[in-house]
């Protein structure tokens, strides 16, 4: 009877409560459910989702994770890599720090979805989601300026790759969770967010490289024989 009353009162409680930002409900099965609100009622969670509500057993919930808030831009059709407006900035930074432009664009895609005004719950700013203290160390004057943000983010990622002997997974983990966490665990930290971040960036990077290779015509044999060897990519 108490459970039924609580469920009947739930819509009123949700209307009275302040709006919640999006969260992820993580289940024992590994499934992550994107919700806009939730309420524990007895031994069940009532989840508010786009399109309605869902009830699940509280015992099946292993974590509730906040979502970094930014407004994603609509994806450009049939385009891999950076938006045209930022392509020159990405390629300039890649050349300056001897980095792969496809890797930089893959990081930007996961960090901000190419939104230069993105600000996370941890106060990371811009396309490459720089923390103010990191930006200051890298000499950034305007953290929200796309050119400065991309340049500094690429510089930082380059330094991390150097620090971890071109181990891409460790460099990405440090970019996401911080070098201190990588040092603490001696590997990719066992955080769902960081593990998922590393996996998604690497997957995007592989896709970008595949698309780039498909668009680039093979050089003539004579030109290929005389071409210089390109710098080694970071280990994946």
Report the catalytic residues.
Answer: 111
Cα separation of 76 and 29, whole Å? 33
DSSP state of 131: -
Say how far residue 16 (Cα) sits from the centre of its chain: 33
Residues in the chain: 236
- Cα–Cα distances (Å) from 5 to 38, 42, 169, in that order, read 17, 11, 50
Tokens of 173: 């983990």
The dihedral formed by the CA atoms of 87, 89, 92 and 93, expressed in degrees to the nearest 10: -120
């Amino acid at each position: 009877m108490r459970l039924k009353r609580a469920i009947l009162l739930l819509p009123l409680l949700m209307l009275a409560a302040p709006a919640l930002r999006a969260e992820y409900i993580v289940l024992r099965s590994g499934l992550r459910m994107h919700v806009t609100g939730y309420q524990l009622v007895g031994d069940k969670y009532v989840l508010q989702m786009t399109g309605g509500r869902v009830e699940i057993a509280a015992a099946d919930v292993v974590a509730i994770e906040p979502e970094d808030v930014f407004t994603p831009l609509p994806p450009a059709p049939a385009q891999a890599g950076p938006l045209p407006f930022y392509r020159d900035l990405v390629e300039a930074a890649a050349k300056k720090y001897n980095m792969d432009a496809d890797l930089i664009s893959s990081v930007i895609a996961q960090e901000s979805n190419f939104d230069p005004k993105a600000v996370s719950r941890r106060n990371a700013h811009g396309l490459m989601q720089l923390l103010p203290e990191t930006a200051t160390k890298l000499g950034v004057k305007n953290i929200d300026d796309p050119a400065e943000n991309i340049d500094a983010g690429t510089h930082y990622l380059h330094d991390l790759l150097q620090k971890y002997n071109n181990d891409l997974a460790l460099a990405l983990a440090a970019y996401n969770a911080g070098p201190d966490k990588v040092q603490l665990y001696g590997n990719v930290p066992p955080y769902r967010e960081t593990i998922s971040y590393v996996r998604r960036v690497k997957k995007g990077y592989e896709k970008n490289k595949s698309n780039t290779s498909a668009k680039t015509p093979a050089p003539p044999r004579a030109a290929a024989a005389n071409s210089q060897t390109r710098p080694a990519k970071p280990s994946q």
